[in-house]
Amino acid sequence: MVTEFVKNRAPVEVMTVSSFASRSHEVLHFFGTRHGPSYGEPNADLGRVRAAEPDYPFVVSVHQVHGTDALILDGPVRVGEKFTGGWDVIITDQPGILVTVRTADCVPVLLHDPQRETVAVIHAGWRGAVNGIVEKTMSTMQQRFGCRLDGLRVAIGPSAGACCYEVDQQVMDPLRGGYPEWSSVVKMTDHDKWRLDLKKLIRGQALGCGVDENNIQCLDLCTICRPDVFFSYRREGRVSGKMVSGIMLTGKSPST
C-alpha cells in the first residue's frame, strides 16, 4: 500500500510505504520511495549523527558494505558524532534515534521488540541474506538486549521481486550451501538462470528463528517493476538514487 507522508514542518507531501500493518505509538517507521523521505540520504556526513527536527532529533545512517555486521547503539548519541566503519545493520534501545538504511533493489527490513523496547534496521542484499544477516541480527538482539524472538515484529519492505530478480550460479552456489530450503525461493528460467524471491528467503529465515508468522508483514512491491515509485539498480544499470527506510523508538529523546 502506498500512502502519503506529510512532514510536520512543511506543507510538502512525499510518498512513502506503510510498514507494520497496525499503527503503534511505540515506534515511528517507514519504507521510503524515490519521492522521499530524504532522512539518511548519503552525503558528506554519511556515518555522522544528524538532526531532522521536529521529525527526528537524531538520524543515523552508515556506510553499507553488503556484510552482516551490526552497529549497536545502547547509549545516548549526540549530533555530529561520527561512526567510522561499515555496517548493514543498526540496532538500538535508545528512544529518539532514527536508524536508517538505503536501498535500490536490496531488501530493507525493520524489526521491533515491544517488550524490550528495541528496534533494528537491516540492509539485506543477496549476499547479506545468504550469509545470515537476518539470523545474526536477531541473535544479537537476543543476546545483547534480551529480546524474545517469538515476540519480534518484522516488516519486509519493497525490493527486487521474484517477478524480475534474475540470478546466476554466483548466487545459487552459496544459497544452496547456506539455506536448506533454497529450492522454495527460486525458480529456474533458463540454463544457469533463476528468479530469486529475496523477500520469501528473508521471511523463511525469520520463521526459522522462531518469529511468529503473524508478526511478519511483507510488502509485495517490486522495485524493478515500478519506476514511478522506486529506484532500481537492476532496471537502470546504475545508482541514480536510493530509497531511505527507517525506524525509531518514540518517547523522551536521549540527552545530547
CATH number at residue 47: 3.60.140.10
Residue 161 is which amino acid?
A: G
> Taking 50 as the threshold, does the pLDDT of residue 137 lie above it?
yes
The better pLDDT of the pair 97, 11 is held by: 97
DSSP state of 209: T
Angle at 31 (CA atoms; ends 37, 240), nearest 5 degrees:
60
Question: Would you say residue 46 lies in a domain?
Answer: yes
| Residue 244 DSSP SS3 | strand
Q: Quick check: 64 and 86 in contact, CB under 8 A?
A: yes
Q: How far is CA 245 from CA 65, 114, 182, in A?
A: 17, 19, 27
pLDDT at 95: 95
The better pLDDT of the pair 32, 240 is held by: 32
Question: Would you say residue 205 lies in a domain?
Answer: yes
pLDDT at 38: 76
Question: Would you say residue 116 lies in a domain?
Answer: yes
The better pLDDT of the pair 165, 234 is held by: 165
Give the pLDDT confidence of 189-237 residue by residue, as tens digits: 887 899 999 999 999 999 999 999 999 999 989 999 999 999 998 887 7
Region 128-152: what's the mean pLDDT? 96
> Taking 70 as the threshold, does the pLDDT of residue 42 lie above it?
no
Region 119-124: what's the mean pLDDT? 98
The boundaries of the domain holding residue 142 are 2-161+198-249
pLDDT at 16: 64
Region 43-70: what's the mean pLDDT? 86
Q: Quick check: 217 and 20 in contact, CB under 8 A?
A: yes
Most confident among 6-20, 38-52, 134-148 (mean pLDDT):
134-148
> Taking 90 as the threshold, does the pLDDT of residue 178 lie above it?
no
- The sheet that has 107-113: what strands, in order across it? 70-73, 89-92, 118-124, 107-113, 153-156, 216-218
Cα–Cα dist 63/177, whole Å: 28
Q: Quick check: 49 and 78 in contact, CB under 8 A?
A: yes
Region 148-160: what's the mean pLDDT? 95
For the chain, what is the domain count? 1
pLDDT at 8: 35
Question: Would you say residue 37 lies in a domain?
Answer: yes
Question: Would you say residue 184 lies in a domain?
Answer: no
Cα–Cα dist 51/204, whole Å: 36
Average pLDDT of the chain is 86
Q: Quick check: 121 and 246 in contact, CB under 8 A?
A: yes
Question: Would you say residue 41 lies in a domain?
Answer: yes
